[in-house]
Amino acid sequence: LARGVTEPDLRGRHVVISAGGTREPLDPVRFLGNRSSGKQGYALARTAAARGARVTLIAANAALPDPAGVDVVPVGTAVQLREEVLRAAADADAVVMAAAVADFRPAAYAAGKIKKQDGREPEPVALVRNPDILAEISAGRPRPGQVVVGFAAETDDVLANGRAKLKRKGCDLLVVNEVGEHRTFGSEENEAVVLGADGSETPVAHGPKEALADTVWDLVAARLE
């Protein structure tokens, strides 16, 4: 679909998108987080709405304005993100996991602010694994025929890593970005290859995040037909 030409090819469809980055609290004032801006997920939400979809955007700590006509559900942690994605996915035609989900969270939450102790080195922070939401949705397919899309940022052997990850996660499409200096985080633009479980490879040239979003919806729409 050419940019600027908006056909309502997702009319009657419900799509769920996660965006932003989870924050895993250590105490009331501190968290483990990541640099995801949420811009790619918000671009996916805007373009899906423009193509006629009902859109639920599960937004983890994204400091961005709510897109018009989109149902925005704010969340903080990976556990909260999982709960809201699963809830919304129950009747969704497509689920796109654009959020950067923390792989680990602190094993314990201190209800009071953690204080320094005179003359003592700090304790190491113990971590536990967070649930893998993409793998769970892919395996469970809350709605039959649902199309599931993941995102991955890789540094070395980008395509080989992407292929292995697609298989491991069990999703239909995986958008693979190469990250590195001045690439991706917080920027307005993106460049990627979309890998399909059917073996397809769709390169997306460097450009606005909306262009990548439209390519994702083209590929999703083709799989919904």
Partner in contact with 27, chosen from ligand CTP, Ca ion, none, beta carbon below 5 to 8 Å by kind: none
Q: Which of residues 117-146 bind ligand CTP (CB under 6 A)?
A: 130, 132-134
Nearest distance in Å: CB 186, ligand CTP: 17
Alpha-carbon distance of 83 to 121, in angstroms, equals 37
Residue 4: alpha-carbon gap to chain centroid: 24
Nearest distance in Å: CB 57, Ca ion: 21
Q: Which of residues 23-42 bind ligand CTP (CB under 6 A)?
A: none
Alpha-carbon distance of 224 to 140, in angstroms, equals 18
Q: Which of residues 55-84 bind ligand CTP (CB under 6 A)?
A: 78
103 binds Ca ion per the rule CB under 5 A: yes
Alpha-carbon distance of 30 to 210, in angstroms, equals 33
Alpha-carbon distance of 85 to 23, in angstroms, equals 16
Alpha-carbon distance of 96 to 59, in angstroms, equals 12
39 is annotated as contributing to ligand binding: no
CB 194 within 8 A of CB 217: no
Partner in contact with 189, chosen from Ca ion, ligand CTP, none, beta carbon below 5 to 8 Å by kind: none
CB nearer to ligand CTP: pick between 83 and 132: 132
Query: Contacting ligand CTP (CB under 6 A), which of 86, 99, 166, 195?
Result: 99
Partner in contact with 92, chosen from ligand CTP, Ca ion, none, beta carbon below 5 to 8 Å by kind: none
**HEC sequence for 148-207:** EEEEEEECCCHHHHHHHHHHHHCCCEEEEEECCCCCCCCCCEEEEEEEECCCCEEEEEEE
Alpha-carbon distance of 14 to 53, in angstroms, equals 6
Active site residue 34: yes
Alpha-carbon distance of 221 to 183, in angstroms, equals 28
Q: Which of residues 140-199 bind ligand CTP (CB under 6 A)?
A: 150-152
97 binds ligand CTP per the rule CB under 6 A: yes
Catalytic residue set:
34
Contact residues for Ca ion, defined by CB under 5 A: 103
Interface ranges with ligand CTP (CB under 6 A): 78, 97, 99, 101, 103, 130, 132-134, 150-152
